[in-house]
Amino acid sequence: MGAKIMPDIKRPVPAKSDVLSNDPDKALQCIMDGLAETVLSIPDEDLVAESRQRGQDPQKEAEEVRKVLTNALRAVAKDGEFAQKNSTPEN
C-alpha cells in the first residue's frame, strides 16, 4: 500500500486575497487546491492505519472515494459538454 497514486504536487500558497476573494469560483479553487495538497501530503500508510483504527476496511473506503470522485468527474465533464453545446450559436 506504500505506492503513491499521484506524485507530490507543490503549488504556491494562495494569496489571502484569493481565498477571501469576491469571486466564489476562485475562492473555491483555492480551498480545493489546499485540500488536495493536504491529502496528498499524508503518507498512504498513515491513511490506512487511520482507517483501520476507525474499524473501517481501507479497501472499501478507497473504492467508495474512487466512486464519488469518478461520479463528480463525470458530472463536471457532462456539465462542460452541456455548457459548450449551449454556447455555440446555431445557424
Please report the pLDDT score of residue 1 as a whole number: 44
Measured between its terminal Cα atoms, the distance across the chain in Å is 55
Structural domain includes residue 67: yes
Domain with 85, as residue range(s), is 57-91
Q: pLDDT tens across 15-25, in order?
A: 656 666 678 88
Q: pLDDT tens across 28-84, in order?
A: 888 888 888 888 899 999 989 999 999 999 999 999 989 998 998 888 888 776 666
- Between CA 5 and CA 35, with CA 43 as vertex, the angle to 5 degrees is 75
Give residues with Cβ within 8 angstroms of 61, minimum separation 6: 51
* Domains in the chain, number: 1
Give residues with Cβ within 8 angstroms of 4, minimum separation 6: 44
Handedness of CA 8, 13, 18, 24 (dihedral sign): positive
Please report the pLDDT score of residue 24 as a whole number: 82
Please report the pLDDT score of residue 3 as a whole number: 46
